[in-house]
Each structure stands twice: as C-alpha cells, then as structure tokens.
C-alpha cells in the first residue's frame, strides 16, 4: 500500500487531480453550507428552509465525501510529514469541532427554530470551515 501511495504522490498528474477533486469538494461543501447558513441568518427569508436544506445538505455531504477521500489519499502520500506538522493537526481539530457543531446544530432542531442559537451555531460553522480552508491552504507553503 505504501508503495502505491508513494507512486500516487510522485505521479505527474494523479496528485494534482487529487487536489482538483479536493477543491471541488471544498466548493460543494463550503458553498452550499454558507448558502444554507445565510438562510438561517435571515437572508432570503422568502425561501422555504426545508427544501433548501434538503438540496444544500445533500451537496454538502457529497462535498465532504470528496474532501475526505481525496484528503485521505493525499495524506497517505506524506503521512509522516503531516503528522509532524502542528498546522495539519490543528486542521484536523477544526474539522472535528465543525463536525461537533453540525451535530449540535441538527440535534437541537435549529432548522426548525431559526433562533439566536441557530444563528450562533451557523456563524460558528462558517468560521470553523473557513479556518479549515485557511489551514489547508497554508499547508502547501510550510
């Protein structure tokens, strides 16, 4: 397996294509999440929340899967370096916090309430995912 991952990391177009898949996943995840969160904040109040959430969250899930699969493959090509990198570990912590925030948001029925706590959790989600994105981008330069 390690040989396969090393070959993947050294291939002239396979690794860059993994990065493209990762970026598409980020766009699906973050773009749709922010769209839904804007609705939670009251933007587009004439748009019904339930159908928007069904569509947006399906695309968020697809984006997350693309990010997770491509990210795990990219990680496998340089696991030792990344595990030793505090910024990478911080990125993983932020992802875990974002996941916990999402669980809390949905477990409390925030899409039905659209109250102040829903707005706080939506803002936390946006901030956490933007920090994840920032950490991931900086990893390429460290």
> pLDDT in tens for each of the 142 residues of the chain?
667 666 666 767 888 899 999 999 999 999 999 999 999 999 999 999 999 999 999 999 999 999 999 999 989 888 899 999 999 999 999 999 999 999 999 999 999 999 999 999 999 999 999 999 999 999 878 7
CA angle in degrees (0–180, nearest 5) for 13-58-111: 140
Supply 106's token pair: 């949905």
Give the CB-side neighbour count of residue 119, counting CA atoms within 13 A: 7
d(CA 40, CA 25): 22
pLDDT at 5: 64
Contacts 24+ apart (CB under 8 A), 107-116: 110/40, 111/40, 111/49, 111/50, 111/53, 114/40, 114/42, 114/49
Residue 105 CB: number of other CB atoms within 10 A? 20
Contact, 19 vs 6, CB < 8 A? Answer: no
């Amino acid at each position: 397996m390690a040989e396969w991952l090393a070959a993947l990391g050294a291939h002239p177009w396979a690794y860059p294509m993994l990065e493209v898949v990762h970026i598409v996943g980020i766009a699906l995840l973050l773009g749709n999440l922010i769209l839904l969160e804007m609705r939670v904040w009251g933007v587009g109040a004439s748009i019904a929340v339930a159908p928007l959430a069904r569509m947006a969250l399906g695309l968020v899930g697809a984006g997350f899967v693309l990010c997770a699969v491509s990210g795990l493959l990219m990680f496998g090509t340089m696991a030792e370096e990344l595990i030793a990198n505090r910024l990478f570990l911080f990125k993983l912590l932020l992802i875990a916090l974002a996941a916990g925030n999402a669980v809390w948001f949905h477990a409390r029925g925030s899409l039905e309430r659209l109250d102040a706590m829903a707005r706080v959790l939506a803002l936390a989600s946006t901030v956490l995912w933007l920090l994840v994105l920032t950490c991931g981008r900086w990893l390429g330069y460290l």
